[in-house]
A and B are shown apart, each in its own frame.
Chain A
Amino acid sequence: MKKTYSIVFALLITTLANAQDFKKNITTAQTNYNSGKLQDAHFALLQMMQDLDITIGKEVLKLFPPSMDSLPSVQKEETVSGSSQFTGVTIEKKYGLFAKKASLNVVINSPLLNALNAYINSPMLAGFGGDPNTKIVKVSNYKARLTKQDDEQNAYRLEIPMSNALLSLKINNSSEAELLALASQLPIAKMAGLVQ
């Protein structure tokens, strides 16, 4: 119980700190713009964008499930990181303490999105790809790519494009059916609404 309180308290503190940064950057941007320092105003606006992305990332993280079936989440490996410059923000949570592990991440403005969307929406491209370990599936009305990974035993990866973000769910020592069942329980539409 104590642990839960401390986590909530920590989240509250970080949210407040973000809000303060955002407000501070608003003032900096306004002051610099009014005094004609366009480059400094530009930098402050970029900082605001980063603050916002981190805030959005934290909101998305709240939607990540506390556990994946029998796999508990690893609190210390929860991350919201990155910048709004290129790849955007990465939100990641890991599950499982022993041999069986899963990880769920969302990358806003992922550079892989365009290629994945082309692959998913063009049957011809998917056909020519010719990878026997890959197939297109549907999860909660979202088209996705399911891949059986070679490097680990019975490891699967599911990639779901959501407007401008990419959600990936990875699990090892598992099966295709289990991965799809876990994915169907994720609030994908809510996450997509937050990141768009």
Chain B
Amino acid sequence: MKQRLLLILFACAAIAIQTESNAQGFLKKLKDKVEKKAEDALDKKIADKTGVGNTTGNGSANPNPTSNSKNGRPVNTSGEGLKNSTVPDVLQQITDADLAYNKQQFGEARFSVQQALLGVELQIGKQLLQSLPAEVAGLPKDSTEDRVMSARYGWANLTIQRIYQKDDKQLSILIGNNAMYAGALDMYFGFASTQSNGETQNTKQIRIKGNKAIIQFEEREGYTILMQMGTSGMITWKGINFTTEKDMMDAVQQFDIDSIKKTMGEQ
């Protein structure tokens, strides 16, 4: 009898503890909810006043979801970028170089000559872009992709890019005055045996208006033609979604190679 009483007492105590803990859990949940609501309301007010979306509210509506990253730091979504640097004034740079040379400031003189070279190269590049056809193989030029790049430091010098595009068909031309590329190409011509793997031929030598060139086909990249231009230059054409080799060759033939060579100062 005593044992049964003890068992009942123990059961009552357990139920009481359980109820208390349930009540505590319920109170905690209620408290959390109230806190969250209060935080959200506060954030919304701040967001309304400052115009900046909040990220702390779990699941709350973010007025500008792209402006914040996962870790709460802002991600840039605006800004117009850098303005194109102006072409250096060639004559002024030459005068500056002369003055610096007279003062024996050779480093300064060198910098001015570099700037003058940059100016001349950019002008040559712009002239060349103007001379290229406006449409090739039914593809109009995309003038937003016209590029003239010149780096007097390092390996690459003058590079000019033009892209022709319509729907998913694209032809790009890259004209570079860079002896390194031309040298590499020359080496390639010396190894005629590398042209074929014996089963499918992906590369072969061709001539474009009398100039030595190489045409390649890669399934992912389409057709690529590399043409040596004089002693230190190279022209690269890339054709995406051209049906046949002939289509690609016809497109390339539309460029006035002699005029390009002349403008780039090549023979």
Chain A contact residues, CB within 8 Å of chain B: 19, 22-23, 26, 29-30, 33-34, 38-39, 41-43, 45-46, 48-49, 52-53, 55-56, 59, 85-86, 109, 164, 193-196
Contacts and interface: CB of A to CB of B under 8 A. Distances in A.
Contacts of A193: 107
Interface SS majority for chain A: helix
A26 B91 CA distance: 10
Interface residues of B, number: 25
Contact of A41 (B101, B120, B179, B264): B120
Interface string B81-94: 00000000011001
Given A53-B110, A59-B106, A86-B179, A48 B90 contact: no
Given A26-B97, A42-B265, A85-B179, A52 B109 contact: yes
Given A30-B94, A52-B101, A86-B155, A194 B117 contact: no
13 contacts: A19-B101, A23-B98, A29-B116, A30-B94, A39-B263, A39-B264, A41-B120, A42-B117, A42-B124, A52-B106, A86-B155, A164-B153, A195-B107
Nearest to A193: B107
A56 B106 contact: yes
A34 to B, nearest CB: 8
A52 B105 CA distance: 10
A45 B117 contact: yes
B116 A45 contact: yes
Given A38-B124, A38-B127, A39-B124, A48 B179 contact: no
Report the 3 A-B pairs with minimum CB-CB distance, sorted nearest first.
Answer: A39-B265, A56-B106, A45-B117
Interface string B234-267: 0000000000000000000000000000011100
Contacts of B120: 33, 38, 41-42, 45
A29 B97 CA distance: 12
Given A29-B94, A33-B90, A86-B179, A45 B113 contact: yes
Given A38-B123, A42-B121, A30 B113 contact: no
Interface in B96-154: 97-98, 101, 106-107, 109-110, 113-114, 116-117, 120-121, 123-124, 127, 153
Contact of B101 (A22, A29, A53, A59): A22
Given A30-B94, A33-B91, A49 B179 contact: no
Contacts of A46: 117
A85 B117 CA distance: 12
Nearest to B93: A45
Nearest to A108: B110
Given A30-B94, A33-B91, A48-B97, A43 B265 contact: yes
